[in-house]
Amino acid sequence: MRPDPKLINVLALCGSLRAASSNREIIMAAVALQPDCMSIKLYAGQASLPHFNPDLEETTDLPDKVLELRSLVQDADALLIACPEYVHCLPGSFKNLLDWLVGCPDFPGKPVALFQATERHEYLPVMLRDVLTTMSAKVIEDACYELSARSNKLTAEALINDDNTRMSIAGKLKLLTKAVETGRV
């Protein structure tokens, strides 16, 4: 069942499994700064997803964890993705998550905002956009945010307490809101 239809429901996907991930912290800052009309929920089941197997797509018995992920995507008006680069690629567990969403009928056309919390990502921004475009997501470029961070020790509190960062994150969330509301008309 869909969450509150009056709210813009955003499913946040963190590409890192690290507890102290800078990308997770930027999502947590977004949660704290979300506009009143938005509800951001961080997906926490990535580590427990089974390895993608296309043979399972042919059955009616998809694993429960996959069904849960797809249900969350179905209920979301938009996705917020924050993902690190690992060895010039997407982290394996995050690519696995995306592989499970390829067959998700509710994924194509889904508005997506990309947040990035590092300056050392040389390949990921283009690669992730390419993968998402291939999957028929709608990347909302105006709502994407890159934080040039020289440290992997960011905290949501520090991001919120920095005036420029706080205003940038809040502004990008407003642009995501506008894109979703425009698409609803």
Q: In the structure encoding, which two tokens stand for residue 82, read together?
A: 């924050």
Amino acid at 147: L
- Confirm whether pTM is higher than 0.75: yes
Which pLDDT value is given to residue 98?
A: 98
Give Cα separations from 58 to 61, 103, 106, 152, 179 (angstroms).
Answer: 9, 10, 17, 41, 34
Q: Which two tokens stand for residue 24?
A: 């997770």
Q: What is the DSSP letter of 61?
A: -
Give the pLDDT of residue 184: 65
**pLDDT (tens digit per residue) in 69-96:** 999 999 999 999 999 988 889 999 999 9
- What lies within 8 Å, CB to CB, of 75 at 6+ separation is 1, 2, 3, 9, 11
Cβ atoms 79, 108 nearer than 8 A: no
Residue type, 30: A
pLDDT for the residue 33: 98
Position 185 confidence tier, pLDDT thresholds 50, 70, 90: very low
Query: Which residues does 180 contact at the CB level (< 8 Å), separation at least 6?
Result: 8, 77, 78, 111
d(CA 46, CA 89): 17
Provide the terminal-to-terminal Cα distance of the chain, rounded to the nearest Å.
Answer: 22
pLDDT of 13 above 50: yes
> What structural domains and CATH numbers belong to the chain?
8-184 (3.40.50.360)
**pLDDT given for residue 151 in this prediction:** 63
Q: Is 175 exposed, middle or buried (0-12, 13-18, 19+ CB in 10 A)?
A: middle
